[in-house]
Chains A and B, each alone.
Chain A
Amino acid sequence: MIDQIQHFNKSFNAKSTSKQNLAESFIPNGHFDRLTSPNHTIMIGPRGSGKTTLLRMCELEALDIWDGTKSDNYRSKIDFTGVFIPTDRFWKAQFDLYSEKFKSDKLLKKLLLSSFTYHVLECFSNTLIYRVLTSKKKKSYFRNIEISKQNEVQLVEYLSELWHVETKIPSLRGLTIALTLKKHEISSYLSSSDGSRQSSKIPNFADSNIISLLDTSIQIVNQFFDDSDGKWAFLFDELELAPDSFVQPLIDNMRGGPQNLILKLALSPYHKDVSITNNSYSSMHKQDLSFINLSGVREDGLEFAKTLTNNIFKKEKLTNPIESYFETIDINRDKEFSELTKNDKSFFDYCSRQSILGKSYSELSNNQQAAFRRIQFNVHLRNYYQTTRKRASHYYTGFDNICRLLDYNPRMLVGVMSIFSSIAKSEGHIKVHRQLKCIDDYYQSFKALLNTIAVESNESSLNSLYDVITKIASYFEQQIHGEIFSPDPKGTITFRDDYNRNYLEAVGLALNAGALVIEKNDTDSFHDTDGLYSSRCRLSYIFSPKFKLLTNVQPSIDLVEILNQRKIKILDMFGGQGEFKL
């Protein structure tokens, strides 16, 4: 029985995967090399692009238990102890609610912010436990420390005092439990408050700035670990879910911060009100921090996709070259050109003007051949869809093309390739119609997700983010399949016009969901998270089969020209975070 995709966003979710499984299936790449450098790092990428996996693999325990072929090499190079800090999606909503409730009381607002601080400290404390753990559970004893009980008790005493917690048992485990209880105490106090201080005593809490608190804590720990230069990297995941008042200071502290404290932050491509370069004191790319951009992956993602897919197929004992399992149908350029000149007058006229009418590819000059190659897929699609088709074109099939349609997104690749491996195992190879069906299933799933994000517009046909995407996709469809043949159909959007500020939220959400993708000039092109005006975006190629679009780089058009100054407002900024079933 062939497995079906159950959830669009659940085919592989690194957040819920055990460390053991994560380490077993991990494939290091260039992004991981950059992430493991001892520098502050900001990593951006849409959902499923691998941010959580990469961050979690920098965590101490994951690096310790990882026994892949390159693991020893990485362990010898990595010069910090990683502390992974997940973010809860309900935090921002709760924080915004309580912020409003406590706006007149500074102390209560500080108490509210401290709940996030204690979460970070709890993660830190858990990592301390692992570092001193002597147990069969450890594999390579990476950055292992031996500490006597007496020293541990003293360390715990210092940290408890600094963190304003009371431990029942004077051990690191007791300290972690105390932090958990403190979080609960603060949360209970806040939820029972009506906006003013309660008659019950306000809980004691650490009132310092998080960075200075962590710095002091690290210095104390390093003293007890006899490692005065010891570096600690705090790996903040999904910061788009954290309150802005917490995120911006983290980014700001990347310039001139404590030397033993490294910050590695994972963000969505768009994050309103959070800027990396907002003033002259801000951190600067390539000087204070390194930037990893997981958006807009192109052929640089193909090797990774091959390795990932090979690992999946190997589990089914399929070890042939991966491309061989995917049926492909070659495009006969000469035939396509010849047919289209017969059926499409505008293309006939174009060929006449270019003096290529009636000639085969081999009869053309070099320049003409280059132009021929540039438009060949455009020609194929236009020709193929001259008649109404039940099935999408085979242009979208074959291993390389499937990876491109999925934007080399690791999560989507795992989901789709797992299905393909079952098909390949039972049927020997994956026929074109199977490939197209699977991609269509994924598209439908993505469509359903985007339909859950409501928008408000002065145009009645725009009710959800999917409707907005459809508008853009339909415009690009017309560029290729319209009345007049265009050798350079528009296929990307820019935001230069001022009016685009009305679309920023919708575009931002589409980027974060992966429906739109930022086109980047090189592997780690920088872009700020709160402003898209200088960016160029395209639709995710997952829409291409449905809207008969190309999957290569295309010229751009301003978004205002497509949306024609319609107003669009997002009704639910947390939209698209949910999961749904096929």
Chain B
Amino acid sequence: MRFLILSDLHATFESSEVKNSRLVFENTESEFGTRFIQYCKSLNFHFDFLVCPGDISNQGCGESFKSGWKFLNEVSHKLNIKEILCVPGNHDLQSRPESNFSPLHTVKFCEPNFPSTCYETNTHFWGWNWGHIETENFNCILLNSSAYHGFSSEYKHGRVAPETTKQLSEFITSDKFKQRTFNVLLCHHHPVKREDIDFDSDHDVMDGGQALLNELEKVTSEPWLIIHGHKHFASIFRAQSAGFNAPLIFSAGSFSAKLYPKIESRTSNQFYILDIDLKETLEKDCLVGTFEAHSWNIENNWHPSSSDNLPYKGGFGTDIKPRDIITKLKELLAEDPYLDESSLQPIYEMLTHYTPTEFKELLQKLTKLNFEYDISDNKLIQVALKK
């Protein structure tokens, strides 16, 4: 099951005074967008779903929302992707005073329909701030974490009301929610605090987010994948959990927004390819898969990421401990004076589902246990024992 994830586009126009994004439309064309489609085609992947956790527009501009949403549909069409999973972000709503008679008007009445092609799903989404899409292999909950924007100071952060959480809980435990291999929660705001990004208090987190995650874990035994945007800083990690199956949180970076100074040296404009291994996920009862991150910069255009957040390749759902890898390395080094890319193949297989953080922990252990190693683009290139 393969997802193509583009988040926080912040589409804008050539004529706009404020250009916060690289996805700039001149009439209906954007060179940045065109190059992205060409690049994606060159990767030769088949995608099952296109996912966008919101902020398609910039600063509530209705016209750029329409262009951005049209662009996403164009991506879907040109890459033969059957369905788009999308939610609005805070920038998609005209929530500032005097910008429109309703924060939701443009997004509710645009063409093609938003966030989904199904009238009933959309009705439910706009009515109750959430919607459900059922697919062959997973359930997807679309959550509007910007639902209350336009009222007092709600625009400053996300929110999921306790009543919404209760509704979701009841729905999930009802017959209408069929068991699938895994579940997806798609929302714009981050459900848990991320003070590590700006090294500051996190005031724009989704209020009620942690409670929602706790409830989801309580009422289902299948694993959850949470995909969100908003922070423009990519990462992948497990949420806090008291149970076996902590939800996996995929925090998508921004596809095309100009990054603010605190993060611009630590991440980049990216899109992601997320692969869920359905068989392993079912067998291990835990979300197992891999991801690829592709970055953009002026020198190289689109290219496999060389950033740490997120690196080009990584995974999730491993049950292989670092000590197993270390044991294997010792075994291999008993036969060889050093290991190179060819002799490291068994190790690469063991590392397939390691998250970037888990990989870093492994490297720390290697250093402590007197291994010497050489890394290039987040990949072990050579390993030897210290003399």
Binding site for B on A (CB under 8 A): 134, 149-150, 153, 168-171, 173-174, 177
Check A153/B374 contact, CB under 8 A, given A169-B382, A174-B382.
Answer: no
Q: Does B358 contact A (CB under 8 A)?
A: no
Most chain A CB within a 10 A radius of its CB, from B336, B382, B386: B382
* B336 close to A169 (CB less than 8 A): no
Known contacts A168-B384, A168-B386; A173 and B337 CB within 8 A of each other:
no
CB of B380, distance to nearest CB on chain A (Å): 11
Q: Which residues of B contact A150 (CB under 8 A)?
A: 337
- Closest residue of chain A to B376, judged by CB? A173
Q: How far is the CB of B375 from chain A (nearest CB, A)?
A: 11
Binding site for A on B (CB under 8 A): 336-338, 340, 342, 372-374, 381-384, 386
A174 near B338 (CB under 8 angstroms)?
A: yes
Query: By the criterion CB–CB under 8 Å, are B337 and A149 in contact?
Result: yes
Quote the shortest CB–CB distance from A265 to chain B (angstroms): 32
Q: Which residue of A lies closest to B342 (CB)?
A: A134
Q: How close is A203's CB to chain B, nearest CB, in angstroms?
A: 19
**Which 3 pairs, one residue from A and one from B, show the smallest C-beta to C-beta distance?**
A168-B372, A169-B384, A153-B337
Specify which of A134, A153, A177 is in contact with B338 (CB 8 Å cutoff): A153
Which residue of B342, B373, B384 contacts A170 across the interface (Cβ within 8 Å)?
A: B384
New A-B contacts (15) at CB < 8 Å, excluding given A134-B342, A169-B373: A149-B337, A149-B338, A149-B340, A168-B372, A169-B372, A169-B384, A170-B338, A171-B338, A171-B340, A171-B382, A173-B340, A173-B381, A174-B372, A174-B384, A177-B374
| Residues of chain A contacted by B384 (CB below 8 angstroms) | 168-171, 174
Please, how many angstroms separate the alpha-carbon atoms of A227 and B336 in the complex? 25
Residues of B contacting A169 with CB < 8 Å? 338, 372-374, 382-384
Distance A389 CA – B337 CA, assembled complex (angstroms): 77
Query: Which residues of A sit under 8 angstroms from B383, Cβ to Cβ?
Result: 169
- A149 to B: closest C-beta gap in Å: 6
CA gap between A173 and B372 in the complex, in Å: 13
Closest to A177 in B: B374
Total residue contacts A-B, CB cutoff 8 A? 35
Distance between Cα atoms of A168 and B337 in the complex (Å): 12
A171 to B373, CA, bound (A): 11
Pair A170/B337 contact, Cβ less than 8 Å: yes
Closest to B373 in A: A169
**Which residues does chain B contribute within 8 Å of A153, judged by CB atoms?**
337-338
For A134, what are the chain B residues with a Cβ–Cβ distance below 8 Å?
Answer: 342
Question: In the complex, which residue of chain A has the Cβ closest to the Cβ of B372?
Answer: A168
Contact across chains for A173 and B382 when beta carbons are under 8 A apart: yes
Closest to A166 in B: B387
CA distance A174 to B339 in the complex (A): 12
Nearest CB on B from A332, distance (A): 49
A169 to B381, CA, bound (A): 11
Task: Give the chain A neighbours of B373 by CB distance below 8 A.
Answer: 169
In the complex, are the beta carbons of B374 and A174 less than 8 A apart?
A: yes
The interface residues of chain A lying within 8 Å CB-to-CB of B340 are 149, 171, 173
Inter-chain contacts of A173 with B (CB < 8 A): 340, 374, 381-382
Q: How far is the CA of A173 from the CA of B376 in the complex (A)?
A: 12
Interface centre among B337, B340, B342 (most CB of A within 10 A): B337
5 residue pairs A–B, Cβ–Cβ below 8 Å: A150-B337, A168-B372, A168-B386, A173-B381, A174-B382
B374 lies within 8 A of A149 (CB): no
CA distance A64 to B372 in the complex (A): 32
CA distance A149 to B341 in the complex (A): 13
Tell me the minimal C-beta distance from A131 to chain B in angstroms: 15
Question: How distant is the Cα of A144 from the Cα of B202 in the complex, in angstroms?
Answer: 57
Give complex CA distance A169, B372 in Å: 7
Docked complex Cα distance between A171 and B340 (Å): 9
Nearest-neighbor residue (CB-CB) of B343 within chain A: A149
Complex Cα–Cα for A174 and B386 (A): 12
> Please, which residues of chain A bring their CB within 8 A of the CB of B374?
169, 173-174, 177
In the assembled complex, the Cα of A174 lies from the Cα of B387 at a distance in Å of 13
CB distance from A120 to the nearest CB of B (A): 23
- CA A449 to CA B245, docked complex, whole Å: 66
Which residues of chain A are within 8 angstroms of B342 by Cβ–Cβ distance? Answer: 134
**Which B residues are in CB contact (< 8 Å) with A170?**
337-338, 384
How many angstroms between the C-alpha atoms of A170 and B387 in the bound complex? 9
Residues on A with C-beta less than 8 A from B372 are 168-169, 174
Assembled-state Cα–Cα distance A169/B337 (Å): 9
- A510 to chain B minimum Cβ distance, whole angstroms, is 34
In Å, the complex CA distance between A177 and B384 comes to 14
